[in-house]
């Protein structure tokens, strides 16, 4: 089951490389995030009924490419 990610939480890229998409769901040429990179969850967006996580201005990664990182001390 996919976790509902928390906006503002730090997440980790699970797959390598994870392509970065624009708001239309088109891959941004030459732009990707390495596996293990930490990204900030700026919100959730459905593009063509596919879930994406916003990581920057007009920058999105597929939601199933990220793991929510929750650290308990």
Report d(CA 50, CA 38) in Å as an integer.
22
Question: pTM to 2 decimals?
Answer: 0.77
Name the percent of the chain in helix, strand, coil, to the closest 5: 5, 50, 45
* pLDDT, greater one: 37 or 23: 23
The 10s digit of each residue's pLDDT in 48-73 is 999 999 999 999 999 888 876 555 44
């Amino acid at each position: 089951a996919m976790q509902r990610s928390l906006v503002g939480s730090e997440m980790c890229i699970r797959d390598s490389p994870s392509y970065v998409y624009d708001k239309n769901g088109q891959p941004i040429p030459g732009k990707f995030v390495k596996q293990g990179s930490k990204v900030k969850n700026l919100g959730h967006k459905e593009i063509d009924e596919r879930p994406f996580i916003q990581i920057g201005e007009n920058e999105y990664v597929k939601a199933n490419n990220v793991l929510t990182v929750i650290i308990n001390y």
